[in-house]
Structure 1
Amino acid sequence: MTQIETIPKNNLGQAVGKDLDNWTACPRPMRTTMTGRFCNLEPLVPEVHAAQLFAAFSEDREGRNWTYLPYGPFDSQEQFKHWLQESSCGDDPLFYTVVERRTSEAVGMASYLRIEPVAGVIEVGHIHFSPLLQRTPLATEAMFLMMQRVFDELGYRRYEWKCDNCNEPSKRAALRFGFSFEGVFRQATIYKGRNRDTAWFSVIDSEWSRQKRAFQSWLDPENFDAEGQQKRSLQDCFK
């Protein structure tokens, strides 16, 4: 029998949100490494990671990965390093670089941003996965490690993913990682001289235990054959 959730009401009989009297603000994300089996997420340090990231991003010969980012592409390693020094060393956004454990090479980056500890809301963004990282177990593990920190370590209530509504690969990735589509904010901003309608996705804390089990099942060594190919897809693990 389906249980019907009772909608809270105030003393005037008006419907109101769930009581959160015991809620306390979350800590801000730490500038510390997140360790996985395939990759580590290290706090981004331009002097350490710029050269490796520039080389990895240069594998994208046509520059397709820069299309939906509000910056880049960069003509030189020094130009890219300067941008990192100016833009990626603060606390919001808080940038991490994805380092492949097998090679110890930086192959991508991502960040937490729009961090709201009082409301327990945080966003993942500035995701730039080089061709060396795309469609590999590292990419999935990197997103899992960031989600795990948000929910298990920091206790946030809501984790957001936003992207240009024209960016079909990003929208597919959000759904693959278990985010729910919430809608499109039309004419949300302008970048690179273009309009951007922004697609919104989220995972909330009550959904996390199921998402976590799916990620752990997919990342389990038993889910990969001798050639490193998955036996079950992440979507199958969510079922």
Structure 2
Amino acid sequence: MLDSKVPFDVNFVYDVKELQNDRVRLVPFVPATFAQSLFDLLKPHPELFTYLPMGPFLTMDELLEFLYNTGHKQPSWIIFAILDRTKAVDHNRWGDGQLAGTIALLNTEAHNFSTEVGFVMVGKEFQRTHVTSNAVGLLLQWCFSELGLRRVQWQANYRNEPSVQTAIKMGFKHEGTIRWQRVLPVECASVGEPVKRNGKDEVPGRHSAMLGMYWDQWEAGTSETVATRMARTV
């Protein structure tokens, strides 16, 4: 059984570092440091998982299993803790900032200079604030300006309008809808597409909105658009 008190090394295809500005810190997510606080942040709000292919995590063991099997075992993933620096909080485990959620890079392919922003889990009290835009912006700046990536993508259930609009506001371009991309658990039927074949009901599926941002778009002005979005106060 995994133990939240035992840290494990970050395992990612690129060297990882802390990212920050005056509003937000992104710190590599080490369960020994952040898991209990994240569990406490998310557990009261299972609706945060409505469109996600994981969770809600009902026990700490479920959360730790997910973190280990994705954020650690797969080198294409790196999960960051999002810390809100505007709250003037100095925590005894991680220092400056109040835990606001998580954000990750996933499906990273170094040989293709590409990655994907995902696992954006922001606590209720931090939604519709500066937190998401600054967390996404810091990752984009790192990906394009430091790692030299050519493509960063964003996927979402096409029904998840808030997620799609968040990406568009940050400068991602809607590339299309990938039909029947995923099989969804039966409990997610309300946000999936019904399947009935040969007179029998099957587990639902998901149509995914695909959005992308590209290195030439970034250098042609999207970097300034992202910086403006991060700096907004309303």
What's the TM-score once normalised by structure 2's chain length? Answer: 0.77
- SS in structure 1 opposite 2:222? helix
Choose between structure 1 and 2: higher helix proportion: 2
Mapping of 1:149-168 within 5 angstroms? Answer: 149-168=142-161
RMSD over aligned CA atoms reads 1.9
Choose between structure 1 and 2: higher strand proportion: 2
User: What is the aligned partner in structure 1 of residue 79 from structure 2?
Assistant: 95
Structure 2 Cα separation of the partners of residues 73 and 30 of structure 1: 30
User: What is the aligned partner in structure 1 of residue 206 from structure 2?
Assistant: 196
1:59 deviation in Å? 4.6
Mapping of 1:207-222 within 5 angstroms? Answer: 207-209=217-219, 210-220=221-231
Identity between Structure 1 and Structure 2 (%)? 25
1:73 deviation in Å? 0.8
Mapping of 1:113-132 within 5 angstroms? Answer: 113-132=106-125
Structure 1 Cα separation of the partners of residues 21 and 127 of structure 2: 17
Return the match for 1:182 from 175, 178, 201.
Answer: 175
1:137 counterpart = 2:130: yes
Larger radius of gyration: 1
1:124 deviation in Å? 1.0
**Residue deviations 1:35-66, cap 9 Å, x none?**
12111111111111111111221352xx2210
List, as ranges, runs of 4+ consecutive aligned residues in structure 1 with deviation greater than 4 Å.
none
Unaligned runs of 5+ in 1: 1-26, 225-229, 231-239
Structure 2 Cα separation of the partners of residues 88 and 119 of structure 1: 20
Return the match for 1:67 from 50, 58, 74.
Answer: 50
Classify 1:219/1:200 alpha carbon distance in 2 versus 1 (closer, same or farther; 3 Å): closer
Question: What letter matches 1:183 in structure 2?
Answer: G
What's the TM-score once normalised by structure 1's chain length? Answer: 0.75
1:67 deviation in Å? 1.1
Provide the aligned length of Structure 1 versus Structure 2: 195
**Contact 2:113/2:150 (8 A) holds in 1:** yes
Classify 1:59/1:139 alpha carbon distance in 2 versus 1 (closer, same or farther; 3 Å): farther
- SS in structure 1 opposite 2:206? strand
Structure 1 Cα separation of the partners of residues 13 and 65 of structure 2: 26
Structure 2 Cα separation of the partners of residues 75 and 119 of structure 1: 37
1:87 deviation in Å? 3.0
